Structure 1
Amino acid sequence: MTVNGTTKVTASTPAPGIPFYTPTQPTAPGAVSPKNTKPVPTLFTPLKLRSLTLNNRFAVAPMCTYSADDGHLTDWHLVHYGAFPLRGAALTIVEATAVTPNGRISPEDSGLWQDSQIPPLRRIVDYVHSQGQKIGIQLAHAGRKASCLAPWHASGHGRAAGKDVGGWPENVWGPSAIPFMDVYPTPKEMTLEDIQGLVRSWADAARRAVEAGFDTIEIHGAHGYLITEFLSPISNKRTDQYGGSFENRIRLLTEIIKAVRGVIPETMPLLLRISATEWMEYAGGESWDVPQSIKLAKLLPELGVDLLDVSSGANNVSQKIDIHPYYQVSIAGQIREALKAEGKELLIGAVGMITNAEMARGIVQENDGKVEIDEEHGQKTMADMVLIARQFLREPEFVLRTAAKLDVDVAWPVQFARAQWPKGANL
């Protein structure tokens, strides 16, 4: 191969299609080894989304790291994101990346509103591809939760970042002029012109993501950020075509989906993350809830969405969540079951408190009778993919460790091959 004008001759086959030398992985880390002779749980089978094939059902969920330089990712991010595909994650999704400068949660958030932000992302994309894995990016606008300090600077629920630290508290947007809480900026109610411009910005960011080489894009419609704020009748008090009825409250989201789908290749899968409930049902008033999420989910296939990433909450400080290991996974299962009942083709991703091998296996296991599954939670397939966040921060090798615990023979990176756990090791 030729790197920087120099031809390299090596016994190792170079990884193809990337601008630096590294040996190719004969089998992508975390993919089932050709040596495996035992039944393979669904968790370690490939998943196809349009033209994209993932080596297993593990995805690294997008997690903000508040470490970008004016929206540009750095070497820190290359090291951070590189750890997961090297250790077996089939899909890594880059953190919430703002489509406009005022759409960042903090001044240190990732951005894709200008072309100079493409090359740092391309470096990360190239590295992930060099390991035989796939990478996506989550495009976002923080809405009324923008211009805040990184969490390690804030006390309690966070507080506004003023102009003195690079914030923009006077230019925070929302569907209505209702702050998230009193330590957050009061948003400006968006005009129709603002909304139209924002939809164009989302499309422009999607074009840049394609140019950077990403395999997929996720639209962030969860966790109390701008799209959630429009979906919720609690935070959206508009009286125009973007407020009031269910159809009006989902209008911004559907316009964004159409705009993004219109500029990305037909072969590229499109993902959407939502908060399936605000956890405000107890209050008795109208809020965004699971029945509305199911109603929305049924519309997504025709809009060109391929996978719904089911999260919840974070749009109201008065939310009451009954937290237990399956508190979000069970909602994903409800939505998947409702879609299947009507023959709707939409993949479902589950996220939240997925911390061990048995749980991950049971969530996606298809009941083919070949693999013994957890009796309590594995009888019904809850999702097609597990999106894992904090557990990957604790254990970047979670995929490899899960494979060992489930006695599945998967490939390790060739550079780490001598470090594999002995059979029967106490993990």
Structure 2
Amino acid sequence: MSQTHPVLTKSAIRKLDIGNRLVLAPMSRASAQDDGVPTKNMANYYSEFAKGGYGLLIAEGAFTDNKFSQSYSNQPGMVTDEHQSGWREVTEKVKAHDGRIILQLIHAGALSQHVDRPHAPSAVRPQGNMLQGYGHKQGEYPIPEILSLQDVEEIKRGFLQASLRAQEAGFDGVEIHCANGYLLDQFLTDDTNKRDDQYGGSLENRIRLTCEIIRDARQNAPDDFIVGVRLSQAKANNSDYFWPNGIADAEIIFGSVANAGADYIHLASEKNGYAYHSYTKDNRNLTEYARELTGLPVIANGGMQDIELANSIIADSKADFVSIGKTAMINPDLPKKVASNNAVQDFTFDMFKFGVSIEAQQKWQVEAKN
């Protein structure tokens, strides 16, 4: 590939060499079997991004236990031997194109649209309504049950076992999902965490569970296996949320996950873009600050299909990588297009005309060609 763009320069995370700075962002495609087993269609889907030149792929969030963690119907899991085997087909297809792939691990908590009774840090009804297109449950979220300390220990074990399975399935690492209003972010956020034990109260306590999960995964992984973390200000059900104390909160959050052993920080800003949610309310740049504070590689997100913006973020040392979400779905070869200075196809929500799954996208693409 041409090296005229900063996003096409080589880099690394931990001991993993990465061919460029363009990362496939994790995106929920609801395309697994009913029991959460990844399909051959998913293996083909992810292999197209490796073939298209993305330096690193972050696979969509996999649920971590069969109790309370699943977010929606047809979400992939990483709980059973069958899940692990299905994901093994994905990693083998990706690595046939010399790809690098990480598995995101997620627990839905109060935002589950799948379990009979969601469980969460506290009995606080989530804002907003359930996401359209993901599962059969719609409307207002219910008030969740409160997680006991025994439940919390089971959650930690679920994440650890999923990380161990990811190693066996051939992934290059895992990403712990503490973003977008899901369980670990529910613990982090004072609006949804009213606990008075070691996981509630101060921000240091509210980030504790995420740090314990990172530490467990890191301590039980080989040296060449990556354990990253995804963070965000905005929530899936509250797109205008900001960390209330701005850079002071960022210092505690970024410092805590780094001290726990995180190998990178991925800051999600997909809803309103990098210029909005990768900054504090008083306009401090969070990706740049995370990089300076921790010394860790940082992945920026939000509108990175704007290659001029992405190049400037890398060139100005505001982040080490950029992740691309919706636009990647329609441009699995985006890095090759950038290298050859070809136009990147614009994303359109019409792509979801038949649903959010991979199969629905394929149906739309066939119709669009005719």
**What TM-score, normalized by structure 1, do the two folds share?**
0.71
Matched with 1:189 is 146
Q: Is the 8 A contact 2:210 2:257 kept in 1?
A: no
Matched with 1:169 is 116
With over 3 angstroms needed to count, the CA separation of the structure-2 counterparts of 1:247 and 1:209, relative to structure 1, is: same
Matched with 1:42 is 6
Equivalent position SS for 1:136: strand
Q: Please state how far the C-alpha of 1:264 moved relative to its aligned partner.
A: 1.4
Amino acid at match of 1:91: L
Structure 1 residue 138 and structure 2 residue 101: aligned? no
For residues 58-103 of structure 1, what are the alpha-carbon distances to aligned partners after superposition, in whole Å with 9 as ceiling and x for unaligned? Answer: 1101000112111111122112211111111111111010001221
Matched with 2:133 is none
Where structure 1 has 5 or more consecutive residues not aligned to the other structure, the ranges are: 1-31, 149-166, 314-320, 366-379, 408-427
With over 3 angstroms needed to count, the CA separation of the structure-2 counterparts of 1:96 and 1:333, relative to structure 1, is: farther
With over 3 angstroms needed to count, the CA separation of the structure-2 counterparts of 1:247 and 1:392, relative to structure 1, is: same
Rounded to whole Å, the distance in 2 between the matches of 1:111 and 1:351 is 24
Written as runs of structure 1 = structure 2, the 5 A alignment for 1:217-232 is 217-232=174-189
Rounded to whole Å, the distance in 2 between the matches of 1:398 and 1:312 is 20
Matched with 1:358 is 308
Matched with 1:100 is 65
Rounded to whole Å, the distance in 2 between the matches of 1:115 and 1:42 is 41
Q: Please state how far the C-alpha of 1:277 moved relative to its aligned partner.
A: 5.3
Q: List, as ranges, runs of 4+ consecutive aligned residues in structure 1 with deviation greater than 4 Å.
A: 286-290, 329-333, 339-342
Q: Is the 8 A contact 2:102 2:173 kept in 1?
A: yes
Matched with 2:253 is 296
Structure 1 residue 60 and structure 2 residue 10: aligned? no
Rounded to whole Å, the distance in 2 between the matches of 1:205 and 1:395 is 30
Q: Please state how far the C-alpha of 1:288 moved relative to its aligned partner.
A: 7.1
Structure ranking higher in helix proportion? 2
Matched with 2:285 is 334
With over 3 angstroms needed to count, the CA separation of the structure-2 counterparts of 1:254 and 1:325, relative to structure 1, is: closer
Query: Paired residues, what number?
Result: 324
Rounded to whole Å, the distance in 2 between the matches of 1:216 and 1:247 is 26
Structure 1 residue 115 and structure 2 residue 84: aligned? no
For residues 131-181 of structure 1, what are the alpha-carbon distances to aligned partners after superposition, in whole Å with 9 as ceiling and x for unaligned? Answer: 1110110001011011x2xxxxxxxxxxxxxxxxxx4222x1100011214
Q: Is the 8 A contact 1:58 1:385 kept in 2?
A: yes
Rounded to whole Å, the distance in 1 between the matches of 2:341 and 2:274 is 19
Amino acid at match of 2:115: W
Amino acid at match of 1:144: A
Bigger shift: 221-230 or 287-296? 287-296
Q: Is the 8 A contact 1:357 1:406 kept in 2?
A: no
The equivalent position to 1:405 in structure 2, one of 341, 364, 370, is 341
Rounded to whole Å, the distance in 2 between the matches of 1:40 and 1:311 is 27
For residues 166-206 of structure 1, what are the alpha-carbon distances to aligned partners after superposition, in whole Å with 9 as ceiling and x for unaligned? Answer: x4222x11000112146113211000000011101110110
**What TM-score, normalized by structure 2, do the two folds share?**
0.81
Q: Is the 8 A contact 2:274 2:300 kept in 1?
A: no
Amino acid at match of 1:169: D
With over 3 angstroms needed to count, the CA separation of the structure-2 counterparts of 1:262 and 1:356, relative to structure 1, is: same
Amino acid at match of 2:266: D
Q: Please state how far the C-alpha of 1:339 moved relative to its aligned partner.
A: 4.5
Q: Is the 8 A contact 2:59 2:103 kept in 1?
A: yes
Written as runs of structure 1 = structure 2, the 5 A alignment for 1:383-422 is 383-405=319-341
Q: Please state how far the C-alpha of 1:364 moved relative to its aligned partner.
A: 0.9
Rounded to whole Å, the distance in 2 between the matches of 1:243 and 1:359 is 38
Matched with 1:88 is 53
Q: Please state how far the C-alpha of 1:120 moved relative to its aligned partner.
A: 0.9
Rounded to whole Å, the distance in 2 between the matches of 1:221 and 1:237 is 18
Structure 1 residue 180 and structure 2 residue 126: aligned? yes
Q: Is the 8 A contact 2:300 2:321 kept in 1?
A: yes
Q: Aligned-residue CA RMSD in angstroms?
A: 2.3
Amino acid at match of 2:53: G
Matched with 2:95 is 129
Rounded to whole Å, the distance in 2 between the matches of 1:248 and 1:329 is 23
Q: Please state how far the C-alpha of 1:287 moved relative to its aligned partner.
A: 4.3
Amino acid at match of 1:173: H
Q: Is the 8 A contact 2:61 2:76 kept in 1?
A: yes
Rounded to whole Å, the distance in 1 between the matches of 2:274 and 2:338 is 17
- Percent identity between the two aligned chains: 29
Matched with 2:231 is 274
Amino acid at match of 2:14: R
With over 3 angstroms needed to count, the CA separation of the structure-2 counterparts of 1:333 and 1:120, relative to structure 1, is: farther
For residues 283-308 of structure 1, what are the alpha-carbon distances to aligned partners after superposition, in whole Å with 9 as ceiling and x for unaligned? Answer: xxx84755312321123333211110
Amino acid at match of 1:193: Q
Structure with max Cα Rg: 1
With over 3 angstroms needed to count, the CA separation of the structure-2 counterparts of 1:190 and 1:312, relative to structure 1, is: farther
Where structure 2 has 5 or more consecutive residues not aligned to the other structure, the ranges are: 130-139, 344-370
Q: Is the 8 A contact 2:297 2:319 kept in 1?
A: yes
Equivalent position SS for 2:177: strand
Structure 1 residue 349 and structure 2 residue 314: aligned? no
Q: Is the 8 A contact 1:242 1:251 kept in 2?
A: yes
